[in-house]
Amino acid sequence: MRTAVQQARVVVIGAGQAGLSVAWHLQRAGLSAGSDLVVLDRAPGTGGAWQFRWDALRLGLAHRVHDLPGMHEMGLRFDEADRSRPAREVVAEYYRRFEERHDLRVRRPVAVTAVHREDERRPDGSAGALVVETREDDGTTGAIRSEVVVNASGTWGTPFVPWIPGRDVFRGRQLDTTGYRDAADFTGQDVVVVGGGTSAIGFLLELDGVARSTRWFTRRPVVWSEDPALAVGAAVSAVEDQDRAARAGRTLPSIVSGTGLPVTPRIRRGLARGLLQPEPMFTRLDADGVETATGEHVRADAVIWATGFRADLRHLAPLHLRTEAGGIVVEDGRSGAEPRLFLAGYGPQASTIGANRAGRRTARQVMAVLAADDTVAPA
């Protein structure tokens, strides 16, 4: 069944950190949530990607979660949250309270299947609206005709797993970060962990004493950062690399490869125990394990691919934004090829603090587009 076409001034796709930040600023700028401003989220509950994180993950053990704008006036701060509770529960609760307090009226679970340009043009010859195609869990489809779209769909829906020879013949269990739930699932097993970021390290630490054995393989050498000042400088440089790639329409580089991994007390304990010993990437898999670069066969019951994510932009394909260089051109959060489309949380905005700071700037740009539309709208 298809519902009637809805009208909105702005559609925000995604209610994670970036989407909620932009929506909050747009509401403060005068847009009414639920009518002028429609926020869509494909997830069943609040919390963005955090609601899907594994059971043992606690706040402070991975990337920091920065507060949303307006949270402090509610008396909420992630730095003061209960760290004995799973991170996914805390973030989901705080986001739920945030959405309710500010009456953002997020519609969920609603999947966005496509965004395309309307065929009709306005009287002045300029492009018409963008159309957001939707599908709900019961199969109902719909469409929202909007002047501006803010895409904040994040990366959780598109985990990246590199192709390695033999990946299709391995008889054990293979899973990416989105499929990891509990170390107990690997009790007494030989586990191979692939990836050079915080998720891979977290899995290795949790599996210690639970799995029979673990081996850690990375595609790039791991760079440990003992100096917080150097880590901050490297992070700034990595964000600048992301920005240059986005402006040039290139595939976005890995953040971790540019920043290194800060040595927290927890990681230092793992290093002291000899648990965190990265090895060069293995060359292939076979039915019951992997073959290392030195020719050693490592038996494995499971391979965990903690190899990162890519921006989830599949629903934007009808706009034909992809360049020959493999990315899309985005300047200061705005699409270079489609000026009515903004990408919140993309590239240099991908970190939680980056998405938060960019929310106000993106909202201002969106309101400028709407004001310009008002000046050319027919009487």
- pLDDT tens-digit map of 258-312: 556 888 889 999 999 999 999 999 999 999 999 999 999 999 999 999 999 999 9
- pLDDT tens-digit map of 129-142: 999 999 999 999 99
- pLDDT tens-digit map of 148-169: 999 999 999 999 999 999 999 9
Q: What is the average pLDDT across 226-242?
A: 60
Q: What is the average pLDDT across 236-248?
A: 71
Which residue carries 């539309």 as its tokens?
Answer: 373
Q: What is the average pLDDT across 329-345?
A: 93
pLDDT for res 122: 55
Query: H or E segment at 98?
Result: helix 87-101
Instruction: Give the single-character DSSP code of 322.
Output: B
CATH of 6-157+310-376, one of 3.50.50.60, 3.90.550.10, 3.30.930.10, 2.60.40.10: 3.50.50.60
Domain with CATH 3.50.50.60 in the chain: 6-157+310-376, 173-223+260-305
Please name the residues in contact with 261: beta carbons below 8 A apart, sequence gap of 6 or more. Answer: 196, 197, 198, 201, 222, 223, 224, 225, 267
Q: What is the average pLDDT across 352-378?
A: 79
The reported pTM is 0.89
Cα–Cα distance between 259 and 176 in angstroms, integer? 22
- pLDDT tens-digit map of 40-99: 999 999 999 999 999 889 987 766 788 999 999 999 999 999 999 999 999 999 999 999
Residue 294 CB: number of other CB atoms within 10 A?
9
Strand partners, 285: 290
Domain 173-223+260-305 has what CATH class?
alpha beta
SS3 state at 252: coil
Residue 272 exposed, middle or buried by CB count within 10 Å (0-12, 13-18, 19+): exposed
List the beta strands (DSSP E) in 137-254: 141-151, 173-176, 190-194, 213-218, 224-225
Nearest to 67 by CA among 359, 371, 361, 269: 359
